[in-house]
């Protein structure tokens, strides 16, 4: 009897826990697009290629929204200040943006939009069009600061800012190392907010093969929106420039809070009836 009562209370606790918890930011894992997995990163929108970190039933990233930075056939080299629109509406190779409903704003860090021959080819959002993938390249010159490699072992540059509405729960992925040379890739991707601090990815491979780092963000316990910064980190002594090519957003399915509460209360009612 006590076991059943504890289970009922546990279910009720789950149904209300999201209302009392603070925002959380968790690194999930990374994926490298390679011949062995049919270039899963570059085929981010192609449902015919299996993905390691998709959250839905379809094998795609970006089901809730995406930012594909400056794809296209034309060479690009343009500098922009912090707070830029990430190349949306550009005259050539314009950024393809579908802003998720739970993201109220998104801007780019100070840097250069680039796209040149030899860069990786990516699918477009429709899953079929193929583009030469561009990027926003930022100077990695803030530091040194601690990284998973040790104290004062890395520098960073901020590539993107975005604001998450309260009550959101989703997975975000950031694609890097798409410029044909590992020189312009980060060793780590880090995501920062005032409420969560900085969460770092695991060590990535700087070898010219596209990598994607994934983080789960949960603001269901927040009463206000939360601002996040995406930083590209390189180890001390190798830092220079790093580039971000793509961000994808996928809402994480979850059991209905109301359903959980009803199950919990029904469980308690049955337990009470049996006692009588």
pLDDT in tens, 109-160: 999 999 999 999 999 999 999 999 999 999 999 999 999 999 999 999 999 9
Distance (Å) of CA 135 to CA 12, 95, 121, 138, 185:
46, 9, 12, 10, 11
pLDDT score, position 12? 41
pLDDT score, position 2? 46
Quickly state the pLDDT bin for 9 (edges 50, 70, 90).
very low
pLDDT score, position 23? 87
Q: Is pLDDT of 261 > 90?
A: no
Mean of pLDDT values over 99-117: 98
Q: From CA 232, how far away is CA 101, in angstroms rounded?
A: 25
**pTM reported for the whole predicted model:** 0.86
Q: Is pLDDT of 274 > 70?
A: no
Q: Is pLDDT of 244 > 70?
A: yes
Q: Which residue has the tokens 């927040």?
A: 222
pLDDT score, position 255? 67
Q: From CA 227, how far away is CA 62, in angstroms rounded?
A: 20
The average confidence (pLDDT) of the chain is 89
Any idea which architecture 23-254 has in CATH?
A: Sandwich (2.60)
């Amino acid at each position: 009897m006590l076991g059943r009562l504890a289970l009922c209370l546990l279910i009720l606790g789950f149904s209300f826990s999201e209302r009392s918890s603070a925002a959380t930011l968790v690194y999930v894992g990374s994926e490298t697009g390679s011949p062995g997995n049919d270039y899963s990163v570059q085929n981010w929108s192609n449902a015919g290629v299996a993905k390691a970190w998709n959250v839905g039933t379809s094998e795609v990233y970006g089901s809730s929204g995406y930012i594909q930075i400056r794809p296209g056939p034309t060479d690009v080299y343009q500098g922009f200040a912090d707070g830029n629109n990430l190349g949306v509406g550009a005259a050539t190779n314009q950024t393809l943006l579908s802003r998720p409903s739970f993201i109220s704003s998104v801007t780019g860090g100070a840097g250069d939009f680039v796209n040149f021959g030899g860069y990786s080819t990516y699918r477009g959002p429709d899953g079929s069009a193929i583009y030469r993938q561009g990027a926003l390249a930022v100077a990695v010159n803030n530091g040194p600061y601690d990284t998973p490699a040790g104290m004062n072992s890395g520098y960073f540059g901020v590539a993107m800012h975005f604001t998450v509405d309260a009550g959101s729960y989703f997975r975000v992925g950031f694609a890097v190392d798409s410029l044909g040379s590992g020189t312009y890739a980060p060793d780590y991707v880090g995501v920062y907010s005032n409420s969560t601090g900085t969460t770092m990815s695991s060590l990535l491979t700087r070898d010219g093969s596209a990598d994607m780092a994934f983080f789960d963000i949960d603001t269901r316990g927040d009463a206000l929106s939360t601002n996040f910064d995406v930083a590209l980190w390189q180890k001390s002594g190798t830092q220079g420039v790093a580039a971000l090519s793509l961000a994808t957003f996928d809402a994480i399915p979850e059991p209905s809070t109301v359903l959980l509460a009803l199950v919990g209360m029904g469980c308690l009612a049955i337990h009470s009836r049996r006692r009588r």
